[in-house]
Amino acid sequence: MTETTLDELSINTIRGLCIDMVERANSGHPGTPLDLAPCAYTLWQSFLRFDPADPIWANRDRFVLSAGHASALLWSLLHLSHTRSVDSDYEIGRDGAVSLDDLKSFRELGSRCPGHPEYRWTSGVEATTGPLGQGAAMSVGMALAQRWQSHYFNREGFTLFDYDVYALVGDGCMMEGIASEAASLAAHQKLSKLCWIYDSNQITIEGRTSLTFTEDVADRFLAYGWHVVTVPDANDLAAIRGALTNFRAEHERPTLIIVHSHIGYGSPVEDTRQAHGEPLGREGVRSTKRFFGLPEDQEFYAPSSVYECFNDHLGARGAQARAAWTETFSRYQASYPELADELTRQQRRELPDAWEEALPSFAPDGVGLATRTSSGQVLNCVAKVVPWMVGGAADLDPSTFTRLTFDGAGDAQNETPAGRNFHFGVREHAAAAIANGMSLSKLRSYWSTFFIFSDYARAAIRLSALMEIPVLHVFTHDSIGVGQDGPTHQPVEQLASFRAMPGLLVFRPADANEVVETWRFVTALQHEPAALVLTRQNVPTLDRTKVASAALLRHGAYVLVDDPARELDVILLATGSEVHLALAAREELVAEGLAVRVVSMPCWELFDRQSPDYRESVLPRRVRARVAVEQASTFGWHRYVGDRGAVVGMETFGASAPLQALQTKFGFTVANVTDVARATIERSKEVW
């Protein structure tokens, strides 16, 4: 069999597997995998440096399927290449990540072939994609990570990081704003190791893209500062090879390869609906297979010669590259043992020994610090001893205090690629997604903005939780305490909505030492993202000889101050700046002869994980009089205060006024909290 014939057979085998997956599942997107198969095959077989026997090798090229609805294509590639499985301890198994049975159970419960690529679920998936544009933006983070890693770790004679990053994007990705944000930043950063392959098939769910999308994409990317290459026919393998070779020769700009395709390529797949969610049907499958020269009545046809073809090209090339890298790393360990240890820890999401010794402590102070300020100080202490902790702000680091200021931190720009401070610009959505991409490349990444603007980044934050990657989302200006900027800048519903997000730890610390303990906890996370929600205004630093240790923050909620000798009359629960309001209200209530407990509750999610006995010790069921105080939506608090309790919170948006006026208007005063507490005590005595 000639190489050309084998290429055609391999491409059509991929197409046939995709058709059968969608047909068996009676769900999915057959059209896009059909037109992308030649391009994806050429990339994997002739260019991608990826070893199926070690799919987590540190210097592998990254392939991100941003057009995640074409997941059947990726499952076919992973199956035919016999990509190995990897467990949560980074151990490589002997079995394939995607078996033939997995292909047959595409989109079924428990299958390694879900409807869209899912990171940590199937080996060989570099990122969870599906929401269009997210994969494209994450690939920018991966390319930034590659450049940072190469300049931090590489030494003369030791090239440990030089991987390329490929993202396969579609028309929908190009329409999404996040892709535009990320593309703009990629051009500014001159990420020449980044290649987007744009499948321009001019089809979306509603029909032809001409309904809504008539811009010249090539001109747009040229204006950004990208290198643009066009492939007129997606079936032209020589042209695809030429475009990818062109990308590798470009050393100043990211590359966009525009591949013009047509759903089905003259096959029976002409209905635009079949590109976006409809199987072909029995006769459609038969006629399509006939068109591509595949056995019409044989499901999941994959001849041994195709497996051998993948093994002889992708497999052999990847194994050789990995073996050479492993030999280089062995020599590197002898020459640069400390850097080699750092690289190993980074790849396994482990931290340097004794890193916690760098954490500061804060003396009691009646004036105190804004928690954004203390957070910035702690971040600098941590980042100084964790060299791969990098990040920045969406144009707000003077306000979010996330700038690293110690000697040598520097700015990450094309001219200074080893800098630790990344500037994302006014691009909140892209910033969060890029931080995800950095984390997927094993950097300890964070990003920041005002809490209200987290809404612009919510989809990317959700993906960090879904992928179980430890990105740190740092938010400041956490409440109506923003004051005169008014309700457009005052977050109200954001806390409740992020607490509703599975897998995201949300912290709202009360003072500088709770901030320290928050950073102690979140820095060590390996499989969970966290949101830090911080004040703009100063809050006192509590005297921990008079109240409980901030180290109890690790439980999510703890008894801050109590009168253990007396039966409790009421419990005041609070987070963040309102903890100090609760303490002031307690003083007045205690002066009236009442027994009052104050509970600081910085992280609901951690508290809910504690044992029933611990939760009972903090919130005993016998005490029905409970008042929660938080300058945010009351939604969710009733699970803790119960049907006899009350919440002093926000039921409306805020207003534009000085902070003190706002606190009075919305009831965040000692007088109001004590009034509510007294009423709650009386209500708790009623017989219902």
Q: What is the pLDDT of residue 223?
A: 98
Topology classification of domain 3-323: Rossmann fold (3.40.50)
Separation of alpha carbons 660 and 668, rounded Å:
9
Q: What percent of the chain has pLDDT over 70?
A: 96
Distant-in-sequence, close-in-space partners of 166: CB < 8 Å, separation ≥ 6: 43, 48, 61, 62, 63, 64, 139, 195, 196, 197
Q: Considering 8, 126, 278, 428, which one is annotated as catalytic? A: 428
Give residue 335's pLDDT. 98
Would the pLDDT of 343 be above 50? Answer: yes
Confidence band, pLDDT 50/70/90 cuts, at residue 481? confident
pLDDT of residue 273: 44
Can 355-540 and 555-685 be said to share one CATH topology?
A: yes
**pLDDT over 70 at 275, yes or no:** no
H or E element, residue 200: strand 194-200
Strand partners, 231: 259
Cross-strand bridge partners of residue 227: 255
Q: What is the DSSP letter of 457?
A: G
Lowest mean pLDDT among 194-208, 279-293, 391-405: 194-208
Domain-wise residue ranges, the chain: 3-323, 355-540, 555-685
Mean of pLDDT values over 49-61: 97
Does the pLDDT at position 401 exceed 50? yes
Residue range 355-540, CATH number: 3.40.50.970
- Pairing between strand 389-393 and 444-450? parallel
Residue 73 and residue 199 in contact, taking contact as beta carbons nearer than 8 Å: no
Confidence of residue 209 (pLDDT cuts 50, 70, 90): low
pLDDT band for 596, please (50, 70, 90 cuts). very high
Q: What is the pLDDT of residues 504-549, one digit of tens each?
A: 999 999 999 999 999 999 999 999 999 999 999 999 999 999 999 9
Q: Write down the pLDDT at residue 206.
A: 56
Q: How far apart are the first and last CA of the chain?
A: 84
Look over the chain and give the mean of its residue pLDDT values, rounded to a whole number: 94
Query: Which band of pLDDT confidence, cut at 50, 70 and 90, is reported for residue 264?
Result: very low
- Is residue 81 scored above 50 in pLDDT? yes
The Cα–Cα gap between 119 and 116 comes to 10
- The three-class DSSP label of residue 102 is helix
In this model, does residue 688 exceed pLDDT 80? Answer: no
* Average pLDDT estimate for 188-208: 85
pLDDT of residue 271 exceeding 70, the answer is no
Task: Name the CATH topology of 555-685.
Answer: Rossmann fold (3.40.50)
What pLDDT shows up at residue 484?
Answer: 83
Q: What are the backbone dihedrals phi and psi of residue 516, each rounded to the nearest 5 degrees, phi first? A: -55, -50
Nearest to 585 by CA among 625, 623, 627: 627
H helical segments located in 81-226 = 100-104, 134-153, 171-175, 177-188, 217-224
Q: Which of 620, 628, 670 is nearest to 646 (CA)?
A: 628
- State residue 263's pLDDT score: 58
**Is 206 noted as a catalytic residue in this protein?**
no
